[in-house]
A = this chain, B = another copy of it.
Amino acid sequence: MSFKSTMDETPSGSGSQGIDSLGLQVMRTLDDLARFSEEEGALTRRYLTKEHTEAADFVMQMMRDAGMDARMDALGNVIGSAEGDSSSSPRLLIGSHIDTVRDAGRYDGALGIVLPIACLGFLHRQGIRLPYPVDVIAFGDEEGVRFQSTLIGSRAIAGDFDPALLDATDSDGIRLADALRAFGLDPDAFEKARYRAEDVAAYIEVHIEQGPVLEDEGLPVGVVTSIAGATRFQVKVVGQAGHAGTVPMRLRRDALVASAEAIASVERICTSIPSSVGTVGILHTLPGAVNVIPGTVEFSLDVRAESDASRHAALSEIDKAFGEIAERRGVSITKTMTHEGDACQCAPWLMHRLAQAVQAEGISVRELPSGAGHDAMAVARLTDVGMLFVRCLEGISHHPAESMSEADAQVASKVLLRFLESFDPRKTG
């Protein structure tokens, strides 16, 4: 059977191997993958853990079952290669991440690994070979939960991995370099993970929306226009510790009350600047006792906006507010930037091809930005990127209640197959 006829001529309802069962297959595989968790009764899968190994083995087996060669690169990314008819053609990369936040949902990241493998497996079973080679990549670290630095996997393949990160430590004081070694990898070989730009045609990522737009508009999928830029800081507030009973309110330099005011200012500023969001996700008090005024507080700060101008405006307002709070309360507030990524534009030619594939499935094309960061941001340093969003329940993600439907997995699979069918690695305009 030729590729051209696949989409329209494959009979419906052709059992567990048929095109109409792709959605079911994707959902079941996502359930299976969610079993690899560090925590009983919750899904937590951090970079370079035992559960990462187990999930990677599972994904490599899926890749091989789909007729692909599977390997792990120097940073722990899993790569499955489907060779194409033309050995001289540059590769299409398709990927997303295999790590999760703590107590996560099962679709964020994993969908963008499982769904393309299911599609390529379908083509393999139909005896169809694409005219160009495809690599499906399961990135080892996107969320950054373990080493507090995101996109390690996708930066490495884009040749943008900072070797200084090898000295970053997790909460147990384990260095990234040592965690890689314990995982059976060679940290000094990180350069080998890099793709050469001339070998790559484009990068596509399928991901749940993690927001409420598609659900509101009754659409199963949407085409991403850009990914919001983000800046992250570690903020340290230093006041004066003291006895909770003996220091009168007016003489206190309480680092936590100052931090509370700072957190409220982030909310106020990001509410007033359109499309910007600001979040404090982690906060620690020191010394941390019931009867001691906190002398030091450390918290994370994450600021994002669709446009870099909005993000810079929010950051500048936050700086002003923090400075005013520090001055008035006699505390110091210092910010250390831990991550900065500018907004990332998706390539118009890829958006166009994705839109055509959506349209071919009889669905109106909704273009929308992404408020969340994705591996595509890092890969954009290497090649043109495009993203397909899939509707999720109530915009919930990073939470066990994260959910999407089998019907939408089915639609997204068919859209990706249509995209693969029409994709021409030599036509980038």
Contact = CB atoms under 8 A, between A and B. Distances in A.
Interface of A: 101-103, 143-145, 148, 150, 209-212, 228, 230, 232, 241-251, 254, 256-257, 259-261, 263-264, 267, 270-271, 276-285, 287-295, 300, 302, 304, 338, 370-373, 395-399
Contacts of A250: 271
Given A242-B396, A279-B292, 14 more contacts: A232-B290, A241-B398, A241-B399, A242-B395, A245-B304, A245-B370, A251-B395, A260-B261, A264-B264, A279-B293, A281-B293, A282-B288, A287-B398, A295-B399
A80 to B, nearest CB: 27
B245 A288 contact: no
Contact of A263 (B230, B260, B270, B304): B260
Contact of A290 (B257, B259, B293, B300): B300
A146 B339 CA distance: 37
17 contacts: A150-B291, A209-B246, A232-B290, A242-B395, A243-B371, A245-B370, A248-B371, A249-B271, A249-B277, A249-B278, A254-B267, A257-B264, A260-B263, A282-B289, A290-B300, A290-B302, A292-B398
Specify how many copies of this chain sit in the oligomer: 2
B244 A277 contact: yes
A281 B211 contact: no
List the 7 shortest-distance A-B pairs measured between CB atoms, nearest first. Answer: A244-B279, A211-B246, A260-B260, A245-B372, A246-B371, A245-B371, A260-B263
Contacts of A242: 395-399
A196 B294 CA distance: 40
Given A242-B395, A371-B246, A101 B292 contact: yes
Among A143, A267, A284, A370, the one with the most B-chain Cβ atoms within 10 Å of its Cβ is A267
Given A210-B243, A254-B267, A289 B248 contact: no
A270 B244 CA distance: 12
B101 A287 contact: yes
Contacts of A287: 101-103, 398
A111 B103 CA distance: 47
Contacts of A304: 244-245
A289 B101 contact: yes
Contacts of A302: 244-245, 290-291
B289 A102 contact: yes
Nearest to A144: B290
A212 B247 CA distance: 8
A370 B101 CA distance: 47
A278 B284 CA distance: 19
Nearest to A276: B249
A285 B292 contact: no
Contacts of A398: 241-243, 287, 289, 291-292
Given A209-B246, A242-B399, A251-B212, A294 B267 contact: no
A257 B299 CA distance: 13
A398 B291 CA distance: 9
A82 to B, nearest CB: 32
A173 to B, nearest CB: 16
